């Protein structure tokens, strides 16, 4: 039996709230955690050190709360989904009836970048539905941009007021219809690419990436970029439409790769965020692998076709 408002819910119970002070934050997070602890439910907290310390001070006991402070938890949206799934599976196997999670999605207001996390906030409404998860996403209203707030309001079926009152969110968009934010232009893309290959093969793409990146990226990041590029070129050739091309831009310690085909791109808006079966007839595993790497991955659909952008920087964190 799941405790609290999600007692009758099946799958992921996803809600958001906005706070404007530490007191507001306390009023929202503490009841969420304590209700779970009282019911014997595992509670997973993915906040930064400051917020985690605040929470520890506010709770009478945090012996049964798991604090995850590793930066890798929210390294990329696909990795966050996969990391949490592994934790959920472990708790369900141990007999948990509900797992509670709360964490900070990166956005410019908390020192991160929101690129890609709009898709995450929408996707988690479905990709965790095979687990009894209850999550609360608390955003600092004083640092959250209007653009991010708009996404939060379109991706959470329920919203909490600053005093904890819950209401059904009439702005919520079904994940299958969700339209994310436009992908931001990288300034380097205004320059002339150092590589521009039409009708590219995966082998040519790997060779070009190695040649351009050898002196610009560390070995681990280069390895990820070669792997990711090869997979997205293979996808373009397998599932996309001709003509195809690949372009590479580079500066001293950064490499940006575009792989383009002339088709409409995947119909699944969450492609790449969830693993698919290894023998899936329509593929998808390659994009999932690419999303797990230490790369910024953007999917860009336009009237002239579909482009996958991979961005790699020297010294990217490794898991």
Applying CB under 8 A, the residues found at the interface with other proteins are 201-203, 206, 219-220, 223-224, 226-227, 230-231, 234, 237-238, 278-279, 285-286, 289, 292-293
φ, ψ dihedrals at 126, nearest 5° = -120, -35
Least distance (Å) between residue 67 CB and other proteins: 25
Q: Which is nearer to other proteins, 70 or 174 (CB)?
A: 70
SS3 (DSSP) at 247: strand
Helix spans in the chain (H): 22-38, 49-58, 77-93, 117-127, 146-155, 202-213, 219-239, 285-292
Least distance (Å) between residue 221 CB and other proteins: 10
Least distance (Å) between residue 319 CB and other proteins: 9
Handedness of CA 173, 311, 248, 221 (dihedral sign): negative
Q: Which is nearer to other proteins, 111 or 319 (CB)?
A: 319
Nearest to 292 by CA among 319, 256, 267, 258: 319
Least distance (Å) between residue 80 CB and other proteins: 15
Distance CA 222, CA 246 (A): 17
Q: Which is nearer to other proteins, 43 or 310 (CB)?
A: 310
Q: Which is nearer to other proteins, 218 or 298 (CB)?
A: 218
Distance CA 285, CA 291 (A): 10
Q: Which is nearer to other proteins, 138 or 202 (CB)?
A: 202
Q: Which is nearer to other proteins, 197 or 285 (CB)?
A: 285
Least distance (Å) between residue 285 CB and other proteins: 6
Least distance (Å) between residue 202 CB and other proteins: 5
Q: Which residue has the tokens 């009152």?
A: 165
Distance CA 230, CA 225 (A): 8
Sequence-distant (≥ 6) Cβ neighbours of residue 51 within 8 angstroms: 25, 104
């Amino acid at each position: 039996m799941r405790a609290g408002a999600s007692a009758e819910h099946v799958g992921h119970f996803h809600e958001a709230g906005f706070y404007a002070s530490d007191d507001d934050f306390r009023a929202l997070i503490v009841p969420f955690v304590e209700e779970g602890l009282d019911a014997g439910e595992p509670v997973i907290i993915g906040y930064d050190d400051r917020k985690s310390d605040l929470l520890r001070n506010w709770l009478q006991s945090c012996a049964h709360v798991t604090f995850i402070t590793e930066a890798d938890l929210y390294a990329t949206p696909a990795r966050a989904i996969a990391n949490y799934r592994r934790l959920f599976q472990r708790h369900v196997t141990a007999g948990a009836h509900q797992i509670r999670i709360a964490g900070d999605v990166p956005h410019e207001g908390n020192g991160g970048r929101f690129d890609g996390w709009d898709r995450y906030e929408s996707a988690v409404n479905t990709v965790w539905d095979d687990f009894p998860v209850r999550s609360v996403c608390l955003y600092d209203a004083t640092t959250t941009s209007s653009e991010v707030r708009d996404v939060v309001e379109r991706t959470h079926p329920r919203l909490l007021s600053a005093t904890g009152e819950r209401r059904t969110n009439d702005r919520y968009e079904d994940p299958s219809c969700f339209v994310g934010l436009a992908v931001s232009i990288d300034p380097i893309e205004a320059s002339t690419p150092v590589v521009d290959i039409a009708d590219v093969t995966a082998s040519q793409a790997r060779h070009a990436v190695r040649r351009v990146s050898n002196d610009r990226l560390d070995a681990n990041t280069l390895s990820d970029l070669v792997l990711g590029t090869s997979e997205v070129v293979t996808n373009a050739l397998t599932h996309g439409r001709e003509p195809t091309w690949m372009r590479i831009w580079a500066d001293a310690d950064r490499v940006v790769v575009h792989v383009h085909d002339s088709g409409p791109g995947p119909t699944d808006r969450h492609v790449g965020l969830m693993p698919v079966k290894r023998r899936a007839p329509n593929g998808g595993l390659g994009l999932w692998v690419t999303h797990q790497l230490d790369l910024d991955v953007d999917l860009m659909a336009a009237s002239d076709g579909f482009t996958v952008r991979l961005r790699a920087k020297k010294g990217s964190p490794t898991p």
